[in-house]
Amino acid sequence: MFIQPSDILILSNGPGELATWVRPVVKSLRQLLGNDRTKIRISLILSPCPNASGKEVEIAQSYPEIDRIQSPKHFFSFLLTGKTAENWDWRKNGVVLFLGGDQFYTVIIGKRLNYRTVIYAEWDARWHEWIDRFAAMTPKIIANSPQKYADKITVVGDLMAEVQRAEGQRGRGAEGQRGKIELIGLLPGSKPAKLAQGVPLGLAIAQQIHTLRPTTKFIIFVAQTLDIQTLAKFADPQENPIIKNQGWASGKLVFPSETNQYFLKTESGLTVELCTEFPAYKSLAQCDICLTTVGANTAELGALAVPMFVLIPTQQLDAMRSWDGLPGLLANAPVLGSIFAKLINWLVLQNKKLFAWPNIWAKAEIVPELVGKLQPEKVAKMVVDYLEHPEKLREISDRLRAVRGQSGAAEKIAQIVQEELILSINQP
């Protein structure tokens, strides 16, 4: 289709955007535009992000659709000079596609490269005069934009709903494909501050549930940016002082030869499977309920319609540092970052805001958010109550399906990029 070689430059930032936005979009771009790199080349430039794990480049390298990747540490040099760290060449024709970060970067880079520009607008659209097209999550973005720019905006839906597209409808009924064995997923996060609380608290809750329901199985979903040995350190009381301070559960890493699978084995004898599959949608969809920290995982679970409890323990107020904008910069500042994080989190918790993405979308608490100095026994009893009343779980699943939106956003974005590439080729 494309006689002249063209470039697609994707701007993104954090691990959540890479997993839930970039991944489905680059797949759709290749499906629509083909795999001939002499015709279409896809580059990814990452900008700094307070949620970053430091392994964003490694994550992006696992996406075979992308040809070139630049790490966040070189971003501002590129923004100011137009030169990448490896002095990339740029084809005459191209599109800059925004999938995370600051929308204004798209304006600057689009002008510098003389490329057409497309922004995926999740909550709002900015810089209307200088951007060529907006792919909007909801019609509200059109309503909130100046009318004269309405023709630039196309509603594509929610990229988060592409999880649903990847694995179809949730794979379990009341009985499920595994018979009557209950499965509870634990998602403690990827950052050390979250893992320090999330791992031993999750294990302690699992022990309490297992005492009440001995046949229930548990699985920890290991973040893509972590290795098993690193996660296991947060279950070791010699490495993680919170375990002794709070009286939470510890666990040892075991690898039974007969299973060919890693587990954490607690002092009570409970074995919790460690899942490193990524993306783990098939396994997540098999869970009766998940216990998760805040973050993009709540959006993925919501898209899969998997019931969840969102745990926000406040035993360490400086654990949450993943705020956007100035709060994120202050919370992650050297020396004083911990103090700022405690203050910011205390103020946020006082305002009773919603944290889980499905709750934010619905502007109501669809999935329970447990905030405070959480006690494993109380959380376990709440989870067991839901397991004993499956109609409560079904209600959560139904409400999640109602708010997650329709899939297909990635394909629509790819179509918009294709249209802009054609205009790029034809422009003087």
Please indicate, yes or no, whether residues 238 and 305 belong to a single structural domain of this protein: yes
Question: Percent of the chain having pLDDT more than 90?
Answer: 63
Residue 322 lies in a domain: yes
Please indicate, yes or no, whether residues 273 and 397 belong to a single structural domain of this protein: yes
Please indicate, yes or no, whether residues 136 and 218 belong to a single structural domain of this protein: no
The per-residue pLDDT for 425 is 84
Please indicate, yes or no, whether residues 323 and 352 belong to a single structural domain of this protein: yes
Burial of 254 from C-beta contacts in 10 A (0-12 / 13-18 / 19+): middle
Residue 208 lies in a domain: yes
Please indicate, yes or no, whether residues 60 and 203 belong to a single structural domain of this protein: no
DSSP three-state, residue 70:
strand
Instruction: For residue 398, give every residue at least 6 positions away whose Cβ sits within 8 Å of its Cβ, in sequence order, or none.
Output: 305
Contact 213, 316 (CB under 8 A): no
Other Cβ atoms closer than 10 A to 183: 19
Question: Percent of the chain having pLDDT more than 70?
Answer: 85
Residue 308 lies in a domain: yes
Question: Tens place of pLDDT for every residue, the chain, 428 residues?
Answer: 556 899 999 999 988 889 889 999 999 999 999 999 999 999 999 999 877 778 889 999 999 999 999 999 999 999 999 999 999 999 999 999 999 999 999 999 999 999 999 999 988 899 999 999 999 998 889 999 999 999 999 999 888 877 665 554 444 443 444 446 899 999 998 888 789 999 999 999 999 999 999 999 999 999 888 899 999 999 999 999 999 999 999 999 999 888 889 999 999 999 999 999 887 888 999 999 999 998 878 888 988 899 999 998 876 555 454 444 444 554 455 655 565 555 655 555 556 678 888 898 888 999 999 988 899 999 999 999 999 999 999 999 999 988 876 678 999 999 999 999 999 887 76
- The pLDDT tens digits of the residues spanning 307-321 come to 999 998 876 555 454
Please indicate, yes or no, whether residues 108 and 185 belong to a single structural domain of this protein: no
Please indicate, yes or no, whether residues 44 and 178 belong to a single structural domain of this protein: no
Kindly report the pTM of this predicted structure: 0.73
What's the number of domains the chain is made of? 2
Q: Which domain holds residue 123?
A: 6-157+408-426
Rg (CA), the chain: 22
The per-residue pLDDT for 325 is 46
Going by the DSSP 8-state scheme, the letter that residue 255 receives in this structure is -
The per-residue pLDDT for 324 is 45
Residue 240 lies in a domain: yes
CATH number of the domain enclosing 217: 3.40.50.2000
Please indicate, yes or no, whether residues 235 and 120 belong to a single structural domain of this protein: no
Please indicate, yes or no, whether residues 273 and 346 belong to a single structural domain of this protein: yes
